[in-house]
A and B are shown apart, each in its own frame.
Chain A
Amino acid sequence: MNVVIVGCGRVGGFLAGLLDSEGHRVSVVDIASTSPARAERAWFQHLPSTFKGETILGDGTDLEVLRQAGIERADALLALTEGDNRNLMAAQIAQKIFGVKQVIAKVNDPVRAQTYREMGINTFSRTTILGTLLHAMLQEDREVGEVLMRKALAHEAELVHEPVKAR
């Protein structure tokens, strides 16, 4: 699968590493810093050192930057920057202008998340997902809490405690 990830924070870096280790073609876009003090590498610090995909410095809502990231042949785009609005704009560009099949945007405001989901943009809200998970863990809800946590901890162990295996 060809995947474009916009926003390389903790979540973006984690997911990019995971997909890359599974053999997918991943390109990661993160905004160029205006401060010369911050080197390019700092913006992709959350990527594992074994990451083999592309890193592109630029605005993920800019058509040219997205083309550079290979959006025209992407099967999926994930918009994971810190800004809900940027994520929604990038996701809509991917879906409506480039016809990317699978588009997911991180939207932390539940109202915006729901509104755009109704419009056909796949959104998830960290607020509701994390809240629901914590609630399930407190209730010792095996179905949700345990399964999800086991999977998450396994990924975490793979990425954090051991270097990602190259394929």
Chain B
Amino acid sequence: MYFVVAGAGEVGFHLSQALLESGHEVTVIEADRRRANFVQERLGSIVMNAPADEGRAQMEAGCSRADALIAVTGDDAKNLVICQLAKIRCRTPRVIARVNNPKNEIVFKTLGIDETISSTRVLMNVIEQELPSGGFMPLMSLAGSANELIEAEIAIGTPPAGKNVGSLRLPSGALVGGIIRKGKLMHADDDTKLEVGDRVMVFSPTASEGEVRKALMG
């Protein structure tokens, strides 16, 4: 696949390197000449020294044939505009924005950028995953749809403990994709009985997250 990475800071540099190593084609756009040279010396001639928030640079980088553009500068407003320009002017099918201030995730979604990555949010998820009482975690949003994957641990005394998957009061559109029991992934259908300690993987519309939480955590 062909990716355009906007911004060659720490994130952009390592992302481009990882994409190249997985066999993808990459162009990285960086406005700072010294930084662009630095990256070019390490990754080869895949760097374009230009401002990624200008339409012309995006055209030259081939955003119109790219499978995706990922904007990872340290400036949220810039990432927003880079993604919107690529979507509108170059019709790039998939745009992903890094969000530095987690408050901007919802703003970006309202303004038409569906896929955002917030490093703060990712770190919070990791930290919460370590907490025994956390229990309920939206793991990731699913690309190109308003759905997400949620992991929930069945705790003692909650409504689902000891009940069948079929009896869960999940909102419409939500479904159980599987269960991790004692470290093993297992299939789940309506007759599967839930045990305390089970980690239930649920696919759900993002808007129904609250109802899923209620059904699984009480």
Bound CA–CA A63/B76 (angstroms): 14
Instruction: Report B-chain residues with C-beta under 8 Å of the C-beta of A63.
Output: 103, 107
Q: Are A96 and B53 in contact (CB under 8 A)?
A: no
Closest 7 pairs between A and B when the two form their complex, measured CB to CB: A85-B77, A111-B55, A89-B77, A85-B81, A86-B77, A85-B78, A92-B111
Q: How large is the interface on A (under 10, 10 to 19, 20 to 34, 35 or more residues)?
A: 10 to 19
* 1/0 contact string of A2-15 vs chain B (CB within 8 Å): 00000000000000
Q: Are B80 and A115 in contact (CB under 8 A)?
A: no
Closest partner residue, chain A, to B51 (CB atom): A109
Among A61, A109, A118, A119, point to the contact of B54 (Cβ < 8 A): A109
Q: Are A111 and B103 in contact (CB under 8 A)?
A: no
Closest partner residue, chain B, to A62 (CB atom): B103
Task: For residue A150, give the distance in angstroms from its CB to the closest CB of chain B.
Answer: 35
Known contacts A86-B77, A88-B77, A92-B111; decide if A115 and B53 are in contact (CB<8 Å). no
Residues of B within 8 A of A (CB): 53-56, 75-78, 80-81, 84-85, 88-89, 101, 103-104, 107, 110-111
Instruction: Report A-chain residues with C-beta under 8 Å of the C-beta of B53.
Output: 84-85, 109, 112
Bound CA–CA A56/B55 (angstroms): 33
Instruction: Report B-chain residues with C-beta under 8 Å of the C-beta of A111.
Output: 54-56
Known contacts A61-B76, A61-B77; decide if A115 and B89 are in contact (CB<8 Å). yes
Instruction: Report A-chain residues with C-beta under 8 Å of the C-beta of B107.
Output: 61, 63, 89, 93, 97
Instruction: Report B-chain residues with C-beta under 8 Å of the C-beta of A96.
Output: 110-111
Q: Are B110 and A112 in contact (CB under 8 A)?
A: no
Instruction: Report A-chain residues with C-beta under 8 Å of the C-beta of B89.
Output: 115
Q: Are B88 and A115 in contact (CB under 8 A)?
A: yes
10 more CB-based (< 8 A) A-B contacts, given A86-B77, A89-B81, A89-B111? A63-B107, A88-B81, A89-B80, A89-B107, A93-B107, A112-B55, A115-B55, A115-B85, A115-B89, A119-B88
Task: For residue A29, give the distance in angstroms from its CB to the closest CB of chain B.
Answer: 14
Instruction: Report B-chain residues with C-beta under 8 Å of the C-beta of A92.
Output: 111
Task: For residue A6, give the distance in angstroms from its CB to the closest CB of chain B.
Answer: 11
A163 within 8 A of B: no
Bound CA–CA A119/B111 (angstroms): 11
Task: For residue A98, give the distance in angstroms from its CB to the closest CB of chain B.
Answer: 11
Bound CA–CA A77/B104 (angstroms): 20
Instruction: Report B-chain residues with C-beta under 8 Å of the C-beta of A93.
Output: 107, 111
Bound CA–CA A132/B80 (angstroms): 30
A23 within 8 A of B: no
Bound CA–CA A88/B54 (angstroms): 13
A83 within 8 A of B: yes
Q: List 11 A-B contacts (CB under 8 A).
A: A63-B107, A84-B53, A88-B80, A89-B80, A89-B107, A89-B111, A93-B107, A96-B110, A115-B85, A115-B89, A119-B88
Bound CA–CA A100/B81 (angstroms): 20
Bound CA–CA A92/B77 (angstroms): 11
Instruction: Report A-chain residues with C-beta under 8 Å of the C-beta of B103.
Output: 62-63
